[in-house]
Amino acid sequence: MMKLRKIGVLAFHGDVIEHIEATKQAAKNLHLNIKVIPVRTKESLHNLDALIIPGGESTTLHKLCEREDMWEDMKRIRNIFGTCAGAIMLAKMIHHKTPDQKTLERMDIEIDRNAYGRQTESFDKDVKTSLGNIHTVFIRAPRIKKVGKDVKILAKNEGETIACEQKIDNHYYLAACFHPELTSTIFHEYFLKKIYRI
Ligand code: GLN
C-alpha cells in the first residue's frame, strides 16, 4: 500500500484554517491525495512530509512550540513552508526580536520583524513572482534584509526579497513575508511539487 502523504499546519494561532484550505485546494489542483492535519503537539509532528508555519506572532509561536517541547522535532522536518511570522521562524538571523526569542534557524536569511511599521501600515498589492502573479497581503510583515548565496529568490517588492527558498542537503525550506494563503494557491502548489517531486 502507498504511504499516506501527510502535511501538518502549525495550529496555535494565525491563518491556520486558510493554510489548511489552501493546501487541500492545491493538492486537488495537482490531483494529489494528501492528508492535511493541524499540529499542536510534538506527537502530531511525527511522520509528516512537511510542515506549514502560518503567520501570526513569531514570539508567541516560539513560546508555544517551546512549551510543547516541539523545537528539536520541528528542526528535523524535511520540508517547511513559513509565511510571515513563519518566515521569521525559519530565519537564521532576526532583527528586533524580543530578548528571549528564538527561531528554528533553518534558512540563510536575515529578517527584520515589523519592519514595514505598525499594524495600520499593513498593505496589499499585486506582485509578479517567478511562480506567477499573486495579490500579496502584508500584515505587520517582516522584511528580508539579506539572503545567503544558496537562497533562491522567488519574488521581490520594490527591490526587496519577499519570497525565497533554500535547499540544504535533503531539507527544503520556503519562506514568504506576505500571506499567500489569503489570495491564491500558487505557493502551496509549488511547495507540494517540491515535496513530492512532481
Ligand atoms: N509581526 C509578526 C511577528 O513579528 C508577524 C506578522 C504576521 O505574521 N502577519 O511575528
Q: Could you tell me where the DSSP H helices lie in the chain? A: 16-29, 58-67, 71-76, 85-90, 186-196
The full DSSP string for 61-118 is: HHHHHHHTT-HHHHHH-SEEEEETHHHHHHEEEEES--TT------EEEEEETTTT-S
Mean pLDDT of the chain: 96
Q: pLDDT tens across 150-184, in order?
A: 999 999 999 999 999 999 999 999 999 999 999 99
Residue 113 near ligand 1, beta carbon < 6 Å: yes
- pLDDT reported for residue 25: 98
* Ligand 1 atom, smallest distance to 60 CA: 10
Q: What is the dihedral of CA 145, 147, 152, 156, to 10 degrees?
A: 10
Overall CATH class of domain 5-196: alpha beta
In this prediction the pTM is 0.96
Residue 54 near ligand 1, beta carbon < 6 Å: no
Q: Whose CA is nearest to atom 8 of ligand 1?
A: 55
Q: pLDDT tens across 67-92, in order?
A: 999 999 999 999 999 999 999 999 99
13 catalytic residue (yes or no): no
Q: Which of 68, 165, 181, 189 is catalytic?
A: 181
The number of residues in the chain equals 198
Sheet arrangement for strand 143-147: 91-95, 107-112, 143-147
Nearest alpha-carbon partner for 171 in 123, 100, 115, 104: 104
* Ligand 1 atom, smallest distance to 86 CA: 8
110 catalytic residue (yes or no): no
Take residue 52 and report the three cell numbers written for it: 506549514
- pLDDT reported for residue 36: 98
Q: pLDDT tens across 7-21, in order?
A: 999 999 999 999 999
| Pair type for strands 171-176 and 160-168 | antiparallel
Annotated domain spans of the chain:
5-196
- pLDDT reported for residue 44: 96
- Gyration radius of the chain's alpha carbons: 15
